[in-house]
């Protein structure tokens, strides 16, 4: 009797063929982006027939990073550190003397 072939495990970085949506027609990137940023709800249907509803909103001050930026700044600490370095480069505002030069 032959042994059944086992599939080679995929690495965590490799996308499985069943998750590749690039061939789909009519897909729109970011279609629900604005609605998601306003908040969303998740409904969990339990076995006992009851539903559990949870509402989610982004935390105040939350910022969404585009994927290309996220490559360089993967954590909140990395983003904050970079922004603090930029802040140091901004010249301090000088008090208005009332006259222009």
DSSP per-residue string spanning 24-69: -SS--TTTTHHHHHH-EEEEEE-TTS-EEEEEE-PPTT--PPPHHH
pLDDT digits (tens, 9 = 90+) for 20-60: 667 666 667 778 877 877 888 889 999 999 999 999 888 88
**Considering the chain, what percentage of its residues have pLDDT values greater than 90?**
31
Looking at every residue in the chain, the average pLDDT score rounds to 80
> Which pTM does this prediction carry?
0.41
Domain contains 25: no
Show Cβ contacts of residue 79 under 8 Å, excluding neighbours closer than 6 positions.
63, 65, 73
- The parent domain of residue 65 ranges over 31-89
How confident is the model at residue 6, as a pLDDT? 59
Domain contains 4: no
Q: How confident is the model at residue 69 (pLDDT cuts 50, 70, 90)?
A: very high
Domain contains 82: yes
């Amino acid at each position: 009797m032959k042994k059944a072939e086992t599939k080679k495990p995929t690495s965590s970085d490799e996308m499985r063929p069943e998750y590749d949506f690039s061939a789909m027609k009519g897909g729109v990137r970011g279609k629900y982006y604005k609605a998601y940023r306003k908040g969303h709800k998740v409904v969990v249907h339990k076995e006992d027939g009851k539903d559990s509803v949870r509402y989610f909103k982004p935390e105040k001050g939350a910022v969404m990073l585009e994927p290309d930026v996220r490559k360089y700044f993967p954590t909140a600490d990395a983003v904050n550190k970079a922004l603090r370095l930029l802040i140091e480069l901004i010249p301090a505002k000088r008090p208005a003397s009332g006259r222009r030069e």
